[in-house]
Amino acid sequence: MMASPSFHSGTLMSLIHRVEQTDAGTGALICQASGDQLATVLLEEGRICWAVASGMRRRLTDLLLEGNDRLDRKSLESIYRDCRGRNVPLGEELVRRGVVEAGGLRNALAEHTSEALVRVGHRDDVTFDWVAHRTTSYSPSYTFDTLDIALRVARKVYPDAVRNAEAVLARTQIPAVAFLQSKCGDAFPVAAVQLDEVGGDDLTNRGRLFRELQEMLRQFGQGSSIELAVWRSASDRQLALTTEGDLLVAHFLVRPTQLGLLVKARMKT
């Protein structure tokens, strides 16, 4: 279940914490290592727009062109120049012109961002500088919360753990997020289910849910083996924490019967 030994989940969790510290800010988070600029993460009101890292194999334009018979590179470059001249986001203009589907743009942005952050995670000496921007320009429809991107990264670096976590979460059918514990004590999210039942389909609420889970992990401690612990968050939400091997699973108890279901499931394992 281990990723490449060169991947440091703690680096990505530090980046996530730094994003949250911007207090829903708009700007650029500059990632540096050994004095060199490693990556840039653009934020819009605290949500991730996209990221780019040095040495990336694929550019965002490459992803937008893949499997798209309505757009060629020459046309894309022309639209790009027009967007630069008018200071409008390229992706949203491509959707407006009907040459890229909205879902295709969102997927390309998320894919490019997760690839960039995987590269950031290969370093354990990353520092972050925040450069605030005065104006907003991206539609919320094409921005991402930190949990969205973290789960994308997990599929790239922890594929076995993701499959195992999805199987574990499927057994109870309770809204939950599973975290992979590293030997260093970090806990990185690898799978999530049914968060729409606890408001996770709302752009603002989903980020809040992730912050509540991180607070829960800090309260109970990471790297420990917990049979079953129940906790009530600051927003009066009831959660339960369990362990499954090297997985920490945080369950949102949205109905009275779910704690009993969780206990029964634990007795069967």
pLDDT tens-place string over residues 84-93: 999 888 999 9
Mean pLDDT of the chain: 86
From 142, 175, 209, the end of a domain falls on 142
Q: Is there a domain that residue 196 lies in?
A: yes
Mean pLDDT of the 156-177 span: 93
- Statement to judge: residues 135 and 163 lie in one domain: no
Q: Is there a domain that residue 246 lies in?
A: yes
- Statement to judge: residues 92 and 208 lie in one domain: no
- Statement to judge: residues 92 and 191 lie in one domain: no
**Tens digit of pLDDT for each residue in 95-132?**
999 999 999 999 999 999 999 999 999 999 999 999 99
From 142, 175, 198, the end of a domain falls on 142
Confidence of residue 163 (pLDDT cuts 50, 70, 90): very high
Q: Which long-range contacts (CB under 8 A, 24 or more apart) does 89-97 make?
A: 89/137, 89/138, 89/139, 89/142, 91/60, 91/64, 91/142, 92/138, 92/139, 92/142, 94/64
- Statement to judge: residues 137 and 181 lie in one domain: no
Q: Please determine, for residue 177, whether its predicted confidence score (pLDDT) is greater than 70.
A: yes
Q: Is there a domain that residue 197 lies in?
A: yes
**Tens digit of pLDDT for each residue in 221-262?**
555 566 777 877 777 778 888 888 889 898 888 887 888 878
Confidence of residue 1 (pLDDT cuts 50, 70, 90): very low
In percent, the amount of the chain with pLDDT more than 90 equals: 50
- Statement to judge: residues 175 and 108 lie in one domain: no
Confidence of residue 203 (pLDDT cuts 50, 70, 90): very low
Cβ burial of 165 (10 Å; 0-12, 13-18, 19+) is buried
**Tens digit of pLDDT for each residue in 207-218?**
667 777 777 777
**What is the pLDDT at residue 102?**
94
If we measure between CA atoms, which residue out of 190, 202, 187, 206 comes closest to residue 252?
A: 206
Higher per-residue confidence, 257 vs 144: 144
Confidence of residue 173 (pLDDT cuts 50, 70, 90): confident
- Statement to judge: residues 131 and 168 lie in one domain: no
Q: Is there a domain that residue 151 lies in?
A: no
Q: Please determine, for residue 5, whether its predicted confidence score (pLDDT) is greater than 70.
A: no
From 114, 142, 170, the end of a domain falls on 142
- Statement to judge: residues 107 and 185 lie in one domain: no
pTM passes above 0.95: no
Could you list the residue range(s) of the whole structural domain that residue 74 is in? 9-142
- Statement to judge: residues 13 and 131 lie in one domain: yes
**What is the pLDDT at residue 207?**
64
- Statement to judge: residues 133 and 193 lie in one domain: no
Beta bridge partners of 50: 42
- Statement to judge: residues 56 and 106 lie in one domain: yes
Strand 187-193 with 247-252, pairing: unpaired
- Statement to judge: residues 251 and 200 lie in one domain: yes
- Phi first, then psi: give them for residue 200, nearest 5 degrees: -75, 0
Total domains in the chain come to: 2
- Phi first, then psi: give them for residue 50, nearest 5 degrees: -170, 170
Helices marked H in the chain: 9-21, 60-65, 73-86, 90-96, 102-120, 146-157, 159-172, 203-220, 258-268
CATH number of the domain encompassing residue 213: 3.30.450
**What is the pLDDT at residue 237?**
78
Q: Is there a domain that residue 149 lies in?
A: no
